[in-house]
Amino acid sequence: MKSRMMSRWTAAIWVMGVVGLLLTPVVVLATKPELKGKFEILKDETSTHQPGKVKVIEFADFYCPHCHHFEETGVPLLMKEFGNRVEITMVGFPVIPGKLPTPFDMYEQAKMMGKGDQMKAVLFRTIHKEKLDGVLDRSIRSLLIKEVGLDVETFEAGMESGKPARLFEAGRRWGERVKVSSTPSILLDGNIKVDGANMTPENVLTIIRSILEADAKK
C-alpha cells in the first residue's frame, strides 16, 4: 500500500508543470548541514521547530488537481510514516485564475468551528471528483455544511462576518511573503521551503526524517 501511494503521489508531482515547474527552481540546495534533501532555508523567516515534531504548512489551492492528489496520497503517507511527529495544516493559496474564493472562506470558517480537516476533504471531493464548483451555490453549500456536522445558520453567519475572508487573505499574504509560486508547496517548521520539482515523496520524507534524526542526536 505504501509503495502504491508513493508512486501515485510521484506521478502527480511529475505533471505539476501547469502550476509549478515552469515557475519554480528545480533544485535548491540545503544550507543546514545536519539536514538531508533538497530545500530552501528562508533566512527572513523564524523557525517554529519543537524537538521531536515537525510542523508542515501546506500551501494549496482547492481548485488545483495536484493539491487534491497531494491531499489524497501525500498527506496520508506523511501521517503513516511519522504519525503524531508531524502536524499538517493547509493554508489556502490560489493559483488557478478566474475562481472565486468561497471554498477558502468555507475552510477557514470550518476551522474556527473545529471541522477544518473534514471540510477540506469535502471541498476537494466536491470540486475534483464530483466536478462541482457549486460550493458557490447556497443550496449545495448547505449540504456540505451539514455533511461535516455543522449548523448551517451558525456557519453562514460566520461567513457573513468577514472573518473567514480575512483569515484567508492573511494566509495568502503569508504565501506571497515566502514566495510561493506553485501548489502544492510546503513550509517545514516555519522556514524550510519545499516546492516545484523538489516536491517528491522521497525528498519530503528525507527532509523530515533528517530533522527528527537531528533532534534525536541532541
| Crossing angle (nearest 10°) for helices 152-161 and 163-177 | 60
Look up cell 508543470; give the residue: 17
Give the torsion through C-alpha atoms of 34, 39, 45, 51, to 10 deg: -40
Query: CB–CB of 184/199 below 8 Å?
Result: yes
| Mean pLDDT, residues 152-178 taken together | 97
Query: CB–CB of 63/99 below 8 Å?
Result: yes
pLDDT tens readout for residues 50-62: 999 999 999 999 9
Look up cell 485564475; give the residue: 97
Residues 6+ apart with CB under 8 A from 3: none
Cα-based distances in Å from 83 to 35, 89, 146:
20, 14, 29
Domain boundaries, the chain: 2-217
DSSP code at position 73: I
DSSP 42-64: -TTS----BTTBEEEEEEE-TT-
Residue 125 corresponds to which cell in the numbers above?
471531493
Looking at the predicted structure, is the pLDDT value of residue 20 above 80? no
Strand ranges across the sheet with 185-188: 40-41, 192-194, 185-188, 54-60, 86-92
- What is this structure's pTM? 0.86
pLDDT tens readout for residues 24-52: 443 444 456 579 999 999 999 999 999 99
| Mean pLDDT, residues 59-87 taken together | 96
DSSP bridge partners of 56: 88, 188
pLDDT tens readout for residues 179-209: 999 999 999 999 999 999 999 999 999 999 9
Residues 6+ apart with CB under 8 A from 72: 124
* CATH (residue range 2-217): 3.40.30.10
DSSP 85-148: GEEEEEEE---STT--SHHHHHHHHHHHTT-HHHHHHHHHIIIIIS---GGGSHHHHHHHHHHT
Q: What is the pLDDT, as a whole number, of residue 217?
A: 86
